[in-house]
Amino acid sequence: MMPTEFQGGMSGWRMRRRQGVRYRLMSYARRVLKCSVAVIFAFAVSNAHAEDPLNVILILADDLGYGDLGVTGARGFKTPNIDRLGREGVVCTSFMAASPVCSASRAGLLTSRYPPRTGVVGVISRNQRDHLPLEEVTLAERFREHGYATGIFGKWHLGNHAAVWPLEQGFDEWQGTVGSNDMGPGRPSLQLRRAGKAGVEWVTQSEVSEINPDQTLLTRRTTDLAIDFIDRNQEGPFFLYLPYNMPHTPLFVSDAFSGSTVRGLYGDVIAELDDSVGRILDALERFGKLEHTIIAFTSDNGPWLIFGDHGGSNGGLSGGKKQTLEGGMRVPLVIRFPQSLKTELKRAQLDSRLCSGLDVGPTLFSLAGLSWNDRVKVDGSDISARWRRISPQEERQRPFFYFFERQVRAIQYGLWKLQVAHTDRHTPDVAKIGHGGVRGSVISVSRPQALYHVGLDPGEQVDRSGDAPTESERLSAYLDVARAIAATPKPAFLKVPEE
């Protein structure tokens, strides 16, 4: 018996064959048309994206620890607005600040370069001439090249003179403090610093406009300025950098949030920060810009553990600020994706892959649909492909180097971390932890070379050198590269006038 398709004789077979060919041609044509429409649509979206680039807001907390958000297990207070950013985007749980101290970390964040390359390797005190060199290309300069309005409201801490302040580094507007909220000219006493009377300078554009601003209003004031900036820049794209002064000690909070959490003053401060994020979200929604704005939230380094109840939580990691242990540099990174990117990006993601503050700039640029100019060597890269629905290629893994000033302290690749032998002079003395705003004490600890799997052992307790020699060898092979970066010649800083 003939198969069904051959029944009816050869003439019938030929007719069915012609019909089949015609059907396949029509089917093929439909597929081609469908693909063409998809390509045209993608091009139109891409073209519209390029003509109408997304706004970008980068929020930076000061000394907020890994465990200080609801999404990372905070206790005694809640952060519903920051958590919302993660639900509508991504939370990176293996994100490393560029340094365990603030000036160096900010230099890395704004340039996408390891701090030793920039010359900013530690904390720039009020009496130093060090600064972020004008030759460095900041995120603000890169955004401004694409026609963005650029504003910074909050703490600068990358130089003490107007010649190197934000308006000389790519920002159109600035109001905020020169450095930390305990910094002033000379050597203010600990009592004055705790009282918020250290001579803290508030700058408007390039002029010191106020000495010792009311620090109970710093967070609200900074947020008010941010919302005003958004309001005034509704017509065009903007880049808003929002480096809050809190929760760096001394801690201050407005009356509206005083006593609002069971965690005490530290919890109250974080609650007000979270409310500020909520106010910014509300303002964007009110202006019709929420779904056209990328929002990123992170911290400059880990918590200052020696302050006890006035310091944050490392969330079970080891160490804190000024240490290259996990708790000193691993901080939350939360990015909200606008609805305009929902077809490209998956929301509510928890990403445990290694990334760092050096990657923030290239990643935000990619998400905003902008091209990154490679005229200056950077150490970070765009990691947004890992969150896209269709990833064009497998992400190339890279090592991450932990520097303390110009010393290589550790190298991480994936979830393996090689600790380089060093003396840690900032280990909190557990017998002398501070309380109520009084600083505690530190001790020196000699830390041997060791290999840790920080995915399984985030507290860095078990040396795996003996059972993972291949990983030790692979990480050790990067030591010369890291040491070469650490040895980058110090730049010639500007000769600013004596004060």
Which residues does 97 contact at the CB level (< 8 Å), separation at least 6? 105, 108, 109, 298, 299, 300, 301, 302, 329, 330, 331, 356, 357
8-state DSSP, 135: T
263 token code pair:
């965690």
Burial 212-229 (b: 16+ CB within 10 A, else e): ebebbebbbbbbebbbeb
Exposed e or buried b for every residue in 293-315, given b needs 16+ CB within 10 A? Answer: bbbbbbbbbbbbbbbbebbbbbb
User: How big is the chain, counted in residues?
Assistant: 499
The Cα 475–Cα 416 span in angstroms is 8
| Rounded Cα gap, residues 238 and 151, in angstroms | 8
Q: Are strands 450-453 and 238-243 parallel, antiparallel or unpaired?
A: unpaired
Cross-strand pairs, 446: 423
Asked if 349 and 88 touch (Cβ cutoff 8 Å), the reply is no
Residue 81: name the closest of 311, 370, 362, 279 by CA: 279
Positions marked catalytic = 102, 157
DSSP line for 343-366: TTB-SSEEE-S-EEGGGHHHHHHH
Cβ pair 244, 62 in contact under 8 A: yes
